[in-house]
Amino acid sequence: MNKPASKGGQKTAADWKKQLSPEEYGIARQGGTEPAFSGRYWNHHEQGIYACVCCGTALFSSESKYDSGSGWPSYFQPVDSTHIAMHTDHSHGITRTEVTCTHCAAHLGHVFEDGPAPTGLRYCINSASLAFKNN
C-alpha cells in the first residue's frame, strides 16, 4: 500500500527513503504497523505536540493522549480534525478505519470507537509515524 507522496506529488519514494528511517518509511509510506509496546511514544508522557514524521503537520496533543493498554500511542482527538483523513481499510481480513495525514497522506494508524470521553474514540497511532515537539 504505497501512499501518494503528497497532494502535490512533490516527493518520490526515493525522496521519502532519504528522509525517513527504514521503519518510518515502511509504516508511514507503506502502511505498516510497528509491534505493540515497541514504539518510542507508546509510554511517553512529556507535554507537547505529536506531529507527522513526514511533513511536520501537528496531529495530536499530549493533552489528548491516554494509556489505552494497547501498546500504541492513543489519543481521544486530533489537534485539528482537518489534519487527518479517515479511510476504510479492509486489510488483514477485517474492516477498520485507517487514519492518514491530510497534508502528505502518511499512514498514521487506525481509529476505533472504544475510547474515553469526551469523544469515545481511540486514535491508535504508530510511534514511527510521529515526531514529538515540546511545547
Candidates 93, 78, 89; CA nearest to 125 is 78
According to DSSP, the β-strands at 74-75 and 84-89 are unpaired
> By the 8 A CB rule, do 105 and 6 touch?
yes
Active-site residue (options: 52, 54, 104, 124): 124
Cα 115 to Cα 15, 17, 38, 63, 88: the distances in Å are: 36, 34, 21, 14, 19
Which candidate, 100, 93, 99, 74, places its Cα nearest to that of 5? 100
Q: Is 124 an annotated catalytic residue? A: yes
Residue 12 near residue 29 (C-beta atoms within 8 A): no
By annotation, the residues acting in catalysis are: 124
